[in-house]
Amino acid sequence: MNNKTIAVLCLVAAFFLNMGGGGGLNPVGPPSPVPGSGLHVLVVEDRLNRRDLPAEQFDAMMSADVDELIRKNNGRKYLYDQNQDVSNKDDPWVKDAMKVPRPSLPWLVLDNNGKGTSEAFPKGPQAVSDFKTKIQQYLK
């Protein structure tokens, strides 16, 4: 087997590994706006207007089930106010994620090893399951 054949086989193998969703190392999905290492979830809220959120959206933000899903995958979830000073944090991902533009609130920034999203936080009657599905999408 010559070098050229080996290189082609490696490329094919790499392609199939990615297609197959090879665990947390190569998660499926678009590139993350804030690439980092491991699973990170940041929800940015207007804490003083928490009272005005639709109930389902509030429940999604606070869901212990979602928190447990994140922890089970060795991830971290932060729920910060839009004006929260994160200068004291030592995780650079959090500092970068707090700088992402937020056209509306609450806002979701999610990253799992370089794949992720920055988008409006799920709302509507299925907000809890939508949030869970969104996270699972990036765990594949």
Partner 1 sequence: MQYVSPISQQMPVINDNNAGQFIDPLVDGHKRLCALRPRDMQAYPPGRCGFAALRPFTQYTKEQLIERIKQRDAARSGLRHILDSKGVPVKDQGGLPYCWIYSGVHTVEIAYAVQGDGYVPLSATAAGALITGGQSRGGYGAEAIDFLSKQGTCREQDWPEHQISTRNNTANVQAMAKNNIITDWGELPSGNLDQLAAAVLNNFPVTIGLSWWGHQVTIIDVVILPTGQIGFVFNNSWGLRWGDNGRGVLTPEKARGDMFYPISVRPRPDAVRTAAGLYRLAT
Residues that bind partner 1 (CB under 8 A): 47-48, 50-52, 55-56, 58-65, 67-68, 76-81, 84-91, 94, 128
Burial of 8 (0-12, 13-18, 19+ CB in 10 A): exposed
10: exposed, middle or buried (Cβ count in 10 Å: 0-12, 13-18, 19+)? exposed
Rounded distance between C-alpha atoms, residue 117 and residue 73, angstroms: 18
Least CB distance from residue 91 to partner 1, whole Å? 6
CB of 2 to partner 1, least distance (A): 50
Smallest distance from the beta carbon of 92 to partner 1, in angstroms? 11
For residue 119, which of 130, 133, 103 has the smallest C-alpha distance?
103
The least CB distance from residue 66 to partner 1, in Å, is 9
By beta-carbon proximity to partner 1, the closer residue of 28 and 86 is 86
Closest to partner 1 by CB, 41 or 139: 41
Torsions phi, psi of 65, nearest 5? Answer: -65, -45
Our CB check for partner 1 shows the closer of 61 and 139 to be 61
